[in-house]
Chain A
């Protein structure tokens, strides 16, 4: 991941900022009648009110709420109301959703009848923001984002983002997102993008322009699938005259046309500093449906967390990837390959510092794995406990990893030999719910002669760490 938002832009955190249902201030003395309810008493929802609807269509709100009517006890009412509220939040229709449950009144009220009132506030037609960003090549950029939420009243949104960098990089993306009604939370996304990136460690830079179609749904409560089609034109060029000739040979334009499937099972309690649960992500990509780039790529990322004792979390991560050529007609470019090394994949090594290289430029490999074992603790003496201090963690880690060439036979043997190992200690800082920053002191233990190691202080920003 090349770029990280310094400011949290994630959907989830923005719209779920008020996770707990806010307390409604009721002055019980002024109420005409108060009734104490046991949680398991029978209950029936007579009416659901929704206040504050404007351009939002009724059917999508009804669809999210109708499950509440099936509740039979008060506990179920509470539970289902909470679920419905989360569902409304996930549709990103409203800025704020609050719920108020009361006994039902009026002539049609039944004996155990309840009335549920949702108070919602719709998002504005257009919301936008300007912020700054630091990429991992020390390029600062200005980002202008513009979003039109809930365009047609059923949660459709249009998002655009444009960034202009201090090195004249010019990136944009335009996405249209359409959630559908139904149990499996289907979401359709269509977008176009332009993205520039520079890789000094490999001696090349590239401009990507393409379009992405994504269809996401849940096949089970926790199994999330994304089916994607990505068509992308990549213009690659060398960074300087000193770049290796092997890199120069790959210059030019290529067209990648790829199908991708991503399976995610996320059972963690938090995305950045989880204390329990695990995450599994499997990505399969087939490039070569048209275009002149072709490969079959399988990646996995596994993370497991165990809470040892109060605030001590043991985390194990393992990631790996394996890719194949398909036929001689289709190419695999430098930008498609796997790279190992750097603060996100193998600490104690420079970015792309492990694996084949030519004149100092990393050329990538067809197979890799890397793993890590972390022990996270809060800051010593716990400054800012419960508040600011929760953004920080100290960690002890051990990393290991290796690369291999899939063209030769013994991939496992290759991965076992000359394993790279490093360890260290550092501080990790959470940036919103999206990314984290790490400052580590690293000790590379096992490395090859050609590897570019980084002993001592290493700084990393990213989304997915090993």
Chain B
């Protein structure tokens, strides 16, 4: 790409938010897995917090369509952007941000907490889906393979599992026991509760992408039926976080259903 093209792209990226933005994700009812669902919900919450219009477009092959191989991704004009962080940056490029009034320190803090949530909650969800035998057998296998014909479903699940296990192994998660994973989640939630203290939001009086991310993960953990509810029970021990989630749900999602 020549410099001219790049500049053109940059210029176009700064155009206002178009009306026909679509967010692509797997089918929520029969296909999506816990970690993907958390990420999709986080991005949706962020877009709602920014008051940006979008339409959810469920596709069985959303994962393969995504430029990074991960869901969700949005199509905004000619641009295709996948995953939370790049989407936040892209939206920021249009001058829309939730962190305008925040100091540099707070911003760095917020990023650190987002990394914590991604690392702990994200990996814990991955672990439950792919490493925990019971969940893998009863939930993951059927849901991930649901869009493929036999015998491709078994092949795809098996390939995906070995990929995810390899990734978790590199991160040092595969060796953990279920108990250790729950402990990590507990520690993470404790850290978040401590930071939140008695305030409504983490930073000031307005939610940021951190709240969007936390909402995505915790709401999904709390509402997804799994053979073992220990993960949801761990989260339920933190009433401050539960209240935060209820507030966000009421503000950004309940309104729609009332209409």
Residues of chain A touching chain B, judged by Cβ–Cβ distance below 8 Å, are 233, 236-237, 241, 245, 248-255, 290-292
> With A241-B80, A245-B75 given, is the CB distance from A253 to B65 under 8 Å?
no
Q: Are B155 and A233 in contact (CB under 8 A)?
A: yes
By a CB distance below 8 angstroms, the chain B residues around A255 are 148-149, 151-152
Could you say which residues of chain B place their CB within 8 Å of the CB of A237?
Answer: 64
Closest residue of chain B to A249, judged by CB? Answer: B65
Q: Is the CB of B149 within 8 A of A248?
A: no
Does the CB pair A241–B148 fall under 8 Å?
no
What string of 1s and 0s marks CB contacts (under 8 Å) between B137-158 and chain A? 0000000000011111001100
Chain A residues with CB under 8 A of B156: 253
Chain A residue nearest to B149 (CB atoms) is: A292
Pair A253/B64 contact, Cβ less than 8 Å: yes
**Chain B interface residue number, banded:** 10 to 19
Q: Most chain-B Cβ atoms within 10 A of its Cβ — which of A241, A249, A252?
A: A252
Chain A residues, CB < 8 A from B149: 255, 290-292
Given contacts A249-B59, A250-B61, A290-B149, 12 further A-B contacts (CB under 8 A): A233-B155, A237-B64, A241-B80, A245-B75, A245-B80, A249-B61, A251-B65, A252-B65, A253-B64, A253-B148, A253-B156, A292-B149
CB of B71, distance to nearest CB on chain A (Å): 12
B16 at the interface (CB under 8 A from A): no
30 A-B contacts (beta carbon < 8 Å) = A233-B152, A233-B155, A236-B64, A237-B64, A241-B80, A245-B75, A245-B80, A248-B65, A248-B80, A249-B59, A249-B61, A251-B61, A252-B60, A252-B61, A252-B64, A252-B65, A253-B64, A253-B152, A253-B156, A254-B152, A255-B148, A255-B149, A255-B151, A255-B152, A290-B149, A290-B150, A291-B149, A292-B148, A292-B149, A292-B152
A251 vs B147: C-alpha distance in the bound complex, in angstroms?
13
State which residues 18-71 of B face A: CB under 8 Å.
59-61, 63-65, 67
CA distance A305 to B156 in the complex (A): 49
A250 to B62, CA, bound (A): 10
Which 5 A-B residue pairs are closest in the complex by CB-CB distance? A252-B61, A252-B64, A251-B64, A255-B152, A292-B149
Instruction: Tell me which residues across on chain A come within 8 A of B64, comparing CB atoms.
Output: 236-237, 251-253
A237 to B61, CA, bound (A): 11
Name the residue on A nearest B151 (C-beta).
A255
Q: How far is the CA of A244 from the CA of B44 in the complex (A)?
A: 25
| Residues of chain A lying within 8 A (CB to CB) of residue B63 | 252
Q: How far is the CA of A245 from the CA of B76 in the complex (A)?
A: 12
Which B residues from 95 to 121 make CB contacts under 8 A with A?
none
Q: Mark B216-234, 1 if CB is under 8 A from A, else 0.
A: 0000000000000000000
A241, B149: Cα distance in complex, Å: 29
Measured between beta carbons, the chain B residues less than 8 angstroms from A290 are 149-150
CB A205 to nearest CB in B, in angstroms, measures 13
Residues of A within 8 A of B80 (CB): 241, 245, 248
Chain A nearest CB: distance from B9 CB in Å? 10
What residue in chain A is nearest B67 (Cβ atoms)?
A: A241
For residue B150, which residues in chain A have a CB less than 8 angstroms away from its CB? 290
Give the one of B64, B80, B150, B156 with max A CB within 10 A.
B64
Instruction: Give the CA-CA distance A252 to B59 in the complex, in Å.
Output: 11
How distant is A326 from chain B, measured CB to nearest CB, in Å? 14
Closest to B156 in A: A253
Contacts of A249 in B (CB 8 A): 59, 61, 65
CA of A290 to CA of B153, assembled, Å: 13
Task: Determine the chain B residues whose CB is within 8 A of the CB of A236 once the complex forms.
Answer: 64
Interchain nearest-CB distance for B162 vs A (Å)? 15
A251: B residues at CB distance < 8 A = 61, 64-65
Measured in the bound complex, the distance between the Cα atoms of B148 and A292 in whole Å is 7
Name which residue of chain A comes closest to B150, CB basis.
A290
Report A235 CB to chain B, min CB distance, Å.
8
B152: chain A residues within 8 A (beta carbon): 233, 253-255, 291-292
Contacts of B60 in A (CB 8 A): 252
Considering the chains assembled together, what is the distance between the CA atoms of A251 and B64 in angstroms?
6
| Nearest CB on A from B146, distance (A) | 12
A residues less than 8 Å from B59 (CB atoms): 249
Q: How far is A248 from B156 in the complex, measured between Cα atoms in Å?
A: 19
For residue B238, give the distance in angstroms from its CB to the closest CB of chain A.
39
Q: How far is the CA of A241 from the CA of B65 in the complex (A)?
A: 11
Complex alpha-carbon distance, A291 and B151, angstroms: 8
Q: How long is the Cα–Cα vector from A237 to B69 in the complex, in angstroms?
A: 10
Of all chain B residues, which has the CB nearest A292?
B149
B31 shortest CB reach to chain A, Å: 13
Docked Cα-Cα span, A249 to B60, in Å, equals: 10
In the docked arrangement, what's the CA distance between A253 and B158, Å?
Answer: 14
* Cα A290 to Cα B149 with chains together (Å): 8
- Nearest B residue to A255, CB-CB: B152
The residue of chain A having its C-beta at the shortest distance from the C-beta of B62 within the complex is A252
- Please, how many angstroms separate the alpha-carbon atoms of A255 and B59 in the complex? 18
**Chain A's nearest CB lies how many Å from the CB of B229?**
33
Cα distance A199–B223 in the bound complex, in angstroms: 44
CB of B58 to closest CB in A, whole Å: 13
**Chain B residues whose CB sits within 8 angstroms of the CB of A233 once the complex forms:** 152, 155
- In angstroms, Cα B65 to Cα A148, docked, is 43
User: Closest approach, in angstroms, between the C-beta of A335 and any C-beta of chain B?
Assistant: 14
Q: Bound state CA distance, A356 and B64, in angstroms?
A: 24
Shortest CB-to-CB span from B29 to chain A, Å, is: 19
CA distance A116 to B156 in the complex (A): 60
* Nearest CB in chain A: distance from B191 CB, A: 37
A409: min CB distance to chain B, Å: 31
Min distance, Cβ B152 to any Cβ of chain A, angstroms = 4
Q: Which residue of B lies closest to A359 (CB)?
A: B78
Q: Give the shortest distance, in Å, between B127 (CB) and chain A (any CB).
A: 25
Chain B residues, CB < 8 A from A292: 148-149, 152
